[in-house]
């Protein structure tokens, strides 16, 4: 039997978030029921609430950086039992039969993966509702183990910001002896700095702001390059093996490409937008690569959580109560957060 869950969500674009009740489906054999302890706030939550990508379904409960504890499992679940610490990211289902799903790249499912919120459930057609809630039900293939040694409040943003930055660093083999630049210091950029440093690379924060450069050093960056300083940029030409570009808005990529060594790679993870300044010569003359990257599949998300446990890498967060969520969204849109808001879901019960 379906049950009601407490949540905060929105009725339409431009509407504020408010308390609401959502139905959680009755447990299917493959399902895991999760009591949510914390949920991170991602920029995508705001984009979806505002229907910026034209695919939003309302009413909508956002949230895809979810950690919690298993409360109940369906009869065919083998990996989890009640009491286990678990996590759910951006995806809750996919076809599990296509080549991409078979390779563990469920984010590229040929039949489109099911997003954690604002997407039709593959079996019932009901709209999925996300993690700004006390409970969620997800099939076991889309649930990750949340390592015992990771703090649940601080760890929640790993499920989107963490995997989004870990995946391209791994894909291009970032490691010791390499020079890595991270452009942009927000939710993604600060994880990029921590992860690249933990992988053994020499990390440079590339930023417009000297103050942000100092913040990045505190997070583990070894050097700072001011993108507003033309002389500094010129002297850094051909310096980097890899640049993680987390700048969230459209920008001229030419100055960044010039910083790459021959065969160097720049990966875009922030801007879903046109990128002016892309000239074939900047690529051809140095064998440079420009690429994009979208979250990661389930096996890699688990690998990332285990890597973060081993190296004790945790996001910097500001924990809030659920009734502070509208204010948090406003502050995040102004860049006024270091570096991720996390909602303490215990506040939903009060």
Contacts to Zn ion by CB under 5 A: 42, 44, 94-95, 98, 101, 109, 160
- Residue 157 Cβ, how far from Zn ion at the closest point, in Å? 9
Whole-angstrom distance, CA of residue 148 vs CA of residue 86: 10
Nearest Cα neighbor of 162 from 287, 66, 265 is 66
How are beta strands 179-183 and 240-245 bridged, if at all?
parallel
Whole-angstrom distance, CA of residue 293 vs CA of residue 333: 22
- Residue 101 Cβ, how far from Zn ion at the closest point, in Å? 3
Neighbours of 209 (CB within 10 A): 15
Which of 118/227 has CB closer to Zn ion? 118
User: Nearest 5°: phi and psi at 145?
Assistant: -75, 135
Which of 221/269 has CB closer to Zn ion? 269
Whole-angstrom distance, CA of residue 10 vs CA of residue 58: 7
- Residue 19 Cβ, how far from Zn ion at the closest point, in Å? 23
Whole-angstrom distance, CA of residue 122 vs CA of residue 95: 9
Per the listing, tokens 């079996």 go with 123
Which of 88/160 has CB closer to Zn ion? 160
Which of 95/271 has CB closer to Zn ion? 95
Which of 66/226 has CB closer to Zn ion? 66
Whole-angstrom distance, CA of residue 321 vs CA of residue 323: 5
Q: What is the dihedral of CA 151, 174, 275, 209, to 10 degrees?
A: 60
Which of 332/345 has CB closer to Zn ion? 332
- Residue 225 Cβ, how far from Zn ion at the closest point, in Å? 27
The string of DSSP letters for 267-280 reads EE-S--S--TT--H
- Residue 90 Cβ, how far from Zn ion at the closest point, in Å? 6
For the chain, how far is it from start to end, CA to CA, in angstroms? 26
Neighbours of 119 (CB within 10 A): 22
- Residue 44 Cβ, how far from Zn ion at the closest point, in Å? 4
Q: To the nearest 5 percent, what fractions of the chain are helix, strand and coil?
A: 30, 25, 45
Which of 98/152 has CB closer to Zn ion? 98
- Residue 276 Cβ, how far from Zn ion at the closest point, in Å? 25
């Amino acid at each position: 039997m379906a049950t009601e869950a407490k949540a905060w969500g929105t009725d339409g674009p431009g509407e504020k978030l408010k308390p609401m009740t959502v139905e959680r489906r009755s447990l299917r054999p493959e399902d895991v029921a999760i009591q949510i302890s914390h949920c991170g706030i991602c920029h995508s939550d705001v984009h979806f609430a505002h229907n910026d990508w034209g695919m939003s379904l309302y009413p909508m409960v956002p949230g895809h950086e979810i950690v919690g504890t298993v409360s109940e499992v369906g009869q065919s679940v083998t990996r989890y039992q009640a009491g286990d610490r678990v996590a759910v990211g951006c995806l809750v289902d996919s076809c599990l039969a296509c080549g991409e799903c078979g390779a563990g790249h469920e984010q590229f499912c040929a039949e489109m993966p099911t997003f954690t919120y604002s997407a039709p459930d593959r079996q019932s057609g009901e709209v999925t509702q996300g993690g700004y809630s006390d409970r969620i039900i997800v099939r076991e293939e889309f649930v990750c183990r949340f390592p015992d040694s990771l703090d649940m409040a601080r760890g929640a943003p790993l499920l989107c910001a963490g995997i989004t930055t870990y995946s391209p660093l791994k894909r291009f083999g970032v490691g010791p002896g390499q020079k890595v630049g991270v452009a942009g210091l927000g939710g993604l950029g600060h994880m990029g700095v921590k992860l690249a440093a933990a992988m053994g690379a020499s990390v440079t924060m590339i930023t417009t702001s000297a103050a942000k450069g100092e913040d990045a050093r505190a997070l583990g960056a070894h050097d700072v390059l001011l993108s507003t300083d033309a002389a500094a940029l010129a002297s850094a030409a051909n310096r980097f093996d890899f640049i993680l570009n987390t700048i969230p808005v459209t920008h001229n990529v030419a100055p960044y490409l010039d910083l790459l060594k021959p065969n160097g790679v720049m990966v875009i993870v922030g801007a879903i937008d046109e990128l002016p300044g892309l000239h074939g010569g900047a690529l051809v003359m140095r064998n440079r690569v420009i690429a994009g990257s979208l979250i990661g599949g389930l096996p890699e998300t688990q690998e990332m959580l285990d890597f973060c446990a081993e190296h004790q890498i945790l996001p910097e967060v500001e924990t809030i109560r659920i009734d502070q969520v509208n204010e948090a969204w406003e502050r995040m849109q102004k860049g006024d957060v270091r570096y991720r808001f996390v909602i303490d879901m215990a506040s939903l019960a009060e």
